Amino acid sequence: MDFDAIVIGSGITGGWVAKELCERGLKTLILERGRQINHRADYMDFAPPWEVPNRGMVPEDEKAEHYAIQSNNYAFNSATKQWFVRDSEHPYSTPSGRPYTWIRGYHLGGRSITWGRLSYRMSDYDFNANKLDGHGVDWPIRYADLSPWYDRVERFIGVSGAAEGLEQLPDGQFLPPMGLTCVETAFKQKIEADHPSRRVTVGRCAHLTEPLPEHIALGRGPCQLRNVCERGCGYGAYFSSLSGTLPAAKKTGNLTVITDAIVERLDYDHAKRRVSGVRVIDAKTNQGRSYQARVVFLCASTIGSAQVLLNSRSEHFPNGLANRSDAVGRYLMDHVVGIGAVGTHPGFLDRYYYGRRPTGFYLPRYINITENEGVDFVRGFGFQGHSSRSSWRRAINEPGVGAELKNRLREPGRWEVRLVGFGEMLPRAENRVTLDKRADQWGIPLPHIDVTHGENERRIAERANRDAAQMLAAAGFENITTNGPVRPPGHSVHEMGTVRMGRDPASSVLNRHNQAHDVSNLFVTDGSSMCSSGTVNPSLTFMALSARAANYAADLFGSGEI
């Protein structure tokens, strides 16, 4: 055996698995399809505005030619585009008229560099949902199974946030919270007075407001509130694989990382019911090679992991490895976005904010929890919110000309609050990833992604728009417009569900420990393992699942069971 364990992917989940396995003493190899990135040296966070190409803008012809999909993401700009794949080099297919926005980055650290760092726990409202309303399979775990792993992950990554005592948004191990602006505080007071079961809290985000000794030991420093996080942070002040899990894994002396290693497929030994080899194509030389280990963790992200399994066909698994249930690739979910509302406030003109704040506020789900009268759909939505005062750039909408207009624009404009809804998407078998007949430049079949929103998602969107507009109006906002149209699936970059866990091997791929029902040494711990999507940003849950599964695998490894 080359290694004790192989981890495929070095993003948010692969980093966590590698750290836990290395700390448990397993010689661990990370195979990462993208290029090497050097923490700090390869970031542009210290570039002053005038050194950022085109002040952040990417030329339209370059976007059209190379980044037709990726440039839809809010974090895409001239200082971050190296964290996004070139769509021209990494195509996938969708059915005509059914677009899917697959946002990704192939490099060491994956999307842990670009993520928005919002970190919320799921609750038993989420883990019980499938069982109660019959959509999807019952989760084989509950909140109590994951709670200690949420604790472990939060302590390590560092999550700034305020405890609220809400059942639907469990509290965690928080560093000091950031603050609300004056207009957010007024909004909070009004909404909570009108609706005692609704809550407005500051965003819970993976930033070190006050680093603990274990953060400092890894070279991480306190957040300087610069708001250029998506460029990568040289202070290591927000959590990424590069600032957190990979350095911790490296410290053990047990980690090997190979970049530019595209995992093409997994070989299967039917006699032993195990993965017997991981086949890799070198991204630069196109040469193939294979690695062996006693345990294999697939953490290539929800669509990437499904692609690898579907491409790992064998006599015993003709539809793809571990796919006796035919669930691999199915039940793809992403949060419904493009919903909510925005409005401006006539007041607080004598108030401003100083400095920056790399998070917003959050209004957790209340529908079908504390408010269910007249609701004609299952599940619900939460709102992420932001407030700001408009700058001189509002000139385009301001009446007037000449000196008077210019003088007026010297002052900040009105306060604006935007409520951005994130709606739950149901797991449906027909929303699936399959393999296209066409192949990429390395000969690997392209993913074909076929996903649509259903009636429940449409109703969620309507209600989220209505509630957002009503809350803003009640809090004294004017010029209210609802968001929309609903964006195509994929847009929220919260894809989940294609290799789901479940109790029954006939309808699910993984058991309650993210271990394949049918392949004892194969674990899949990224978002593909999720049975339902909940309403919160999901990466904290992916990390908790990854840490839990890695420690379970290390136990089995120690006892010789795998």
Ligand X SMILES: Cc1cc2nc3c(=O)[nH]c(=O)nc-3n(C[C@H](O)[C@H](O)[C@H](O)COP(=O)(O)OP(=O)(O)OC[C@H]3O[C@@H](n4cnc5c(N)ncnc54)[C@H](O)[C@@H]3O)c2cc1C
Question: Residue 414 touches which of ligand X, ligand SF4, none (CB < 5 to 8 A by kind)?
Answer: none
Residue 207 as a binder of ligand SF4 (CB under 6 A): the answer is yes
Number of residues that bind ligand SF4 (CB under 6 A): 14
Question: Residue 226 touches which of ligand X, ligand SF4, none (CB < 5 to 8 A by kind)?
Answer: ligand SF4
Among 8, 69, 175, 229, binds ligand SF4 (CB under 6 A): 229
Sequence-ordered alpha helix ranges (H) in 54-142: 60-66, 124-127, 129-133
Given a contact cutoff of 8 angstroms between Cβ atoms, the answer to whether 418 and 362 are in contact is no
Residue 237 as a binder of ligand SF4 (CB under 6 A): the answer is yes
Residue 357 is encoded by which pair of tokens?
Answer: 């704040």
Distance, CA of 231 to CA of 234 (rounded, Å): 9
Nearer to ligand X, 186 or 202 (CB): 202
Nearer to ligand X, 106 or 415 (CB): 106
Build a one-symbol-per-residue string for 210-229: x at contacts with ligand X by CB under 6 A, - elsewhere: --------------------
Question: Residue 112 touches which of ligand SF4, ligand X, none (CB < 5 to 8 A by kind)?
Answer: ligand X
Q: What is the DSSP string of 32-74?
A: -SSB---TTTT--TT--GGGSGGGG---HHHHHHH-TTGGGST
Residue 378 as a binder of ligand SF4 (CB under 6 A): the answer is no
Which value, in Å, is the radius of gyration of the alpha carbons in the chain?
A: 23
Among 28, 70, 71, 73, binds ligand X (CB under 6 A): 73
Q: Which of the stretches 86-94, 187-195, 390-398, 534-542 binds ligand X when contact is defined by CB under 6 A?
A: 534-542
Smallest gap, in angstroms, from Cβ of residue 111 to ligand SF4? 16
Smallest gap, in angstroms, from Cβ of residue 118 to ligand SF4? 13
Residue 407 as a binder of ligand SF4 (CB under 6 A): the answer is no
Phi/psi zone of residue 467: left (φ > 0), alpha (ψ -120 to 50 degrees), beta? alpha
Nearer to ligand X, 117 or 448 (CB): 117
Given a contact cutoff of 8 angstroms between Cβ atoms, the answer to whether 299 and 526 are in contact is yes
Amino acid present at 270: H
Q: Which of the stretches 162-170, 192-200, 297-305, 335-343 binds ligand X when contact is defined by CB under 6 A?
A: 297-305
Classify burial at 210, counting beta carbons within 10 Å of its beta carbon; exposed 0-12, middle 13-18, buried 19 or more.
Answer: exposed
For residue 388, give the DSSP letter.
Answer: E
Nearer to ligand X, 317 or 362 (CB): 362
Q: Which of the stretches 225-233, 245-253, 458-466, 503-511 binds ligand SF4 when contact is defined by CB under 6 A?
A: 225-233
Smallest gap, in angstroms, from Cβ of residue 224 to ligand SF4? 4
Residue 501 as a binder of ligand X (CB under 6 A): the answer is no
Smallest gap, in angstroms, from Cβ of residue 382 to ligand X? 12
Among 21, 37, 233, 262, binds ligand X (CB under 6 A): 262
Given a contact cutoff of 8 angstroms between Cβ atoms, the answer to whether 298 and 522 are in contact is yes
Residue 493 as a binder of ligand X (CB under 6 A): the answer is yes
The number of angstroms, rounded, from the C-alpha of 161 to the middle of its chain's C-alpha atoms is 18
Distance, CA of 369 to CA of 357 (rounded, Å): 30
Residue 116 as a binder of ligand X (CB under 6 A): the answer is yes
Question: Residue 31 touches which of ligand X, ligand SF4, none (CB < 5 to 8 A by kind)?
Answer: ligand X
Pick the closest to residue 562 from 294, 200, 296 (CA basis): 294
Residue nearest to ligand X (CB): 11
Question: Residue 238 touches which of ligand SF4, ligand X, none (CB < 5 to 8 A by kind)?
Answer: ligand SF4
Could you say which residues in the range 335-364 bind ligand SF4, by CB under 6 A? 358
Among 78, 224, 290, 520, binds ligand SF4 (CB under 6 A): 224
Given a contact cutoff of 8 angstroms between Cβ atoms, the answer to whether 431 and 484 are in contact is no
Strand partners, 501: 510
Among 526, 530, 535, 556, binds ligand X (CB under 6 A): 526
Residue 234 is encoded by which pair of tokens?
Answer: 């040289």
The number of angstroms, rounded, from the C-alpha of 105 to the middle of its chain's C-alpha atoms is 12
Question: Residue 233 touches which of ligand X, ligand SF4, none (CB < 5 to 8 A by kind)?
Answer: ligand SF4
Q: Cβ–Cβ contacts within 10 Å for residue 447, how many?
A: 24
Residue 116 is encoded by which pair of tokens?
Answer: 């928005």
Given a contact cutoff of 8 angstroms between Cβ atoms, the answer to whether 492 and 334 are in contact is yes
Nearer to ligand X, 174 or 392 (CB): 174
Number of residues that bind ligand X (CB under 6 A): 39
* 3-state SS, one letter per residue, for 500-521: CECCCCCCCCECCCCEECCCCC
Among 233, 341, 426, 501, binds ligand SF4 (CB under 6 A): 233
Tell me the C-alpha to C-alpha distance, in Å, between residue 2 and each of 255, 291, 520. Answer: 12, 7, 19
Smallest gap, in angstroms, from Cβ of residue 43 to ligand SF4? 9
Distance, CA of 30 to CA of 22 (rounded, Å): 11
In 240-360, beta strands by DSSP E: 255-258, 261-269, 274-282, 288-291, 293-298, 336-345
Residue 238 as a binder of ligand SF4 (CB under 6 A): the answer is yes
Q: What is the DSSP string of 136-165?
A: SPPPS--HHHHHHHHHHHHHHH-EE-----
Which residue carries 């948004």 as its tokens? 169
Pick the closest to residue 238 from 254, 256, 267, 218 (CA basis): 218
What is the CA angle 321-323-327, rounded to 5? 140
Smallest gap, in angstroms, from Cβ of residue 524 to ligand X? 10
Residue 489 as a binder of ligand SF4 (CB under 6 A): the answer is no
Contacts of residue 59, Cβ cutoff 8 Å, sequence gap at least 6: none
Residue 464 as a binder of ligand X (CB under 6 A): the answer is no
Amino acid present at 385: G
Given a contact cutoff of 8 angstroms between Cβ atoms, the answer to whether 461 and 339 are in contact is yes
Residue 118 as a binder of ligand X (CB under 6 A): the answer is yes
Nearer to ligand SF4, 206 or 263 (CB): 206
Q: Enumerate binding residues for ligand X (CB under 6 A).
A: 8-14, 31-34, 73, 75, 103-104, 106, 110-112, 114-118, 262-263, 299-301, 304, 308, 493-494, 526-527, 537-539, 542
Q: Enumerate binding residues for ligand SF4 (CB under 6 A).
A: 45, 207, 223-229, 233, 235, 237-238, 358
